[in-house]
């Protein structure tokens, strides 16, 4: 017999707990909103927190550029500058490295 206290809802195991102290005004306010949506307070809070987290993470992942910055970025992609002598020399040194060294370098991000 499984004595685990984890609950399964919609195929997802719910083994973690989250607790928060809030004022009675905050709880009443949140309960009213949950009630309007026909949800339990817990479901309402979790859903709202997930939605907020998703928006924050999406905003973090999206780069916003001004028109001037966008034009400079696109120009650099379409018309990249010529490589400098130092960059060409570094590329030649890199190509001379054994394949195993290049693989390790790519994984570790170290410089030789």
Tell me whether residue 74 is exposed, middle or buried, using C-beta atoms within 10 angstroms of its C-beta: 0 to 12, 13 to 18, 19 or more: exposed
Q: What is the structure's pLDDT at 65? A: 87
89: confidence class by pLDDT, cuts 50, 70, 90 = very high
> pLDDT-derived band of residue 2, with 50, 70 and 90 as boundaries?
very low
Query: How do the domains of the chain map onto residue ranges?
Result: 20-61, 67-108
pLDDT score, position 60: 87
Question: What is the predicted pLDDT for the residue at 3?
Answer: 47
CA atoms 67, 73, 75, 77: torsion sign: negative
Average pLDDT value for residue range 65-82 = 93
Per-residue pLDDT at 33 exceeds 50? yes
Give the pLDDT band of residue 112 (cuts 50, 70, 90): very low
d(CA 38, CA 35): 5
pLDDT of residue 57: 93
> Residue 85 pLDDT > 50, yes or no?
yes
Lowest-confidence range among 24-38, 41-55, 63-77, 93-107? 93-107
């Amino acid at each position: 017999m499984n004595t685990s206290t984890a609950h399964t809802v919609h195929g997802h195991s719910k083994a973690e707990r989250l607790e928060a102290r809030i004022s009675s005004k905050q709880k009443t306010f949140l309960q009213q909103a949950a009630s309007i949506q026909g949800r339990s307070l817990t479901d309402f809070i979790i859903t709202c927190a997930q939605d907020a987290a998703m928006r924050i993470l999406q905003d973090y992942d999206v780069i916003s550029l001004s028109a001037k910055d966008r034009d400079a970025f696109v120009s650099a992609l379409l018309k990249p500058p010529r490589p400098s002598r130092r960059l060409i020399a570094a590329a030649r040194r890199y190509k001379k490295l054994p394949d195993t060294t290049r693989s390790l370098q790519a994984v570790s991000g170290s410089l030789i």
